A and B are shown apart, each in its own frame.
Chain A
Amino acid sequence: EIVLTQSPGTLSLSPGERATLSCRASQSVSSSYLAWYQQKPGQAPRLLIYGASSRATGIPDRFSGSGSGTDFTLTISRVEPEDFAVYYCQQYGSSPRTFGQGTKVEIK
């Protein structure tokens, strides 16, 4: 099973700042089969990025993903008020599918 470790646990930012979230895998994620989700309190997760760098339908271009192998990054170029949430990475290159423990982006 691939273990995903996200850092930092919490990121405190002001609106307009850049957010950089990290996801490290315990072994290589095949074909960059890595996704990112956003979850707000009381809501289901929403797919943001798949294939490490492809934005899902309707996702603003301030969200971008990069990386390959074992190291992946989600970047929010300028954090908007609606972006404060918890973000999870997830790998689907192997079974079982696994998620990281999440990074909370909070208002500074």
Chain B
Amino acid sequence: QVQLQESGPGLVKPSETLSLTCSVSGGYNNDYYWSWIRQPPGKGLEWIGYIYYSGSTNYNPSLKSRVTMSVDTSKNQFSLKLSSVTVADTAVYYCARGAARFDPWGQGTLVTVSS
């Protein structure tokens, strides 16, 4: 079955750009949308946005000015960039399949914003 795995730096400095990649195994195809969702420590879930294999995207307006998503179909990967980060962007970042409901999810990766 489909499995997702996030990767990227666990520590990012304030004002810099957070970059994460999600690798999909066991069933990537071009019929799906792929999303990013985050969860600050001890808090709830926030949808960041989704991307289709064609490259079309839909971002949460609250983050839209700082978010860029991309997809590399040859590598079965999709990526997230979040610019100008602050401590408020410290969170576990999840990738997931879907643009509406999300299933399955990656295990998540903690990104800490700190100098």
Contact = CB atoms under 8 A, between A and B. Distances in A.
Nearest to A43: B107
A102 B39 CA distance: 12
Interface stretch (A18-26, A64-72, A74-82, A87-95): A87-95
Contacts of B11: none
A44 B106 contact: yes
B100 A33 contact: yes
Interface in A31-87: 33, 35, 37, 43-47, 50, 56
A88 B44 contact: yes
Contacts of A35: 101-102
Contact of A98 (B47, B58, B100, B107): B47
B87 interface: no
B73 interface: no
A99 to B, nearest CB: 4
A44 B108 contact: yes
Interface string B52-80: 00000010111000000000000000000
Interface in B73-104: 94, 99-104
Contacts of A101: 44
Contacts of A50: 101, 103
A42 B85 CA distance: 24
Contacts of A99: 44-47
Contacts of A46: 103-105
Contacts of A45: 45, 94, 102, 105
Interface of A: 1, 33, 35, 37, 43-47, 50, 56, 88, 90, 92, 95-102
The 10 closest A-B pairs by CB, nearest first: A92-B100, A44-B105, A47-B103, A97-B47, A99-B45, A96-B60, A35-B101, A50-B101, A101-B44, A44-B108
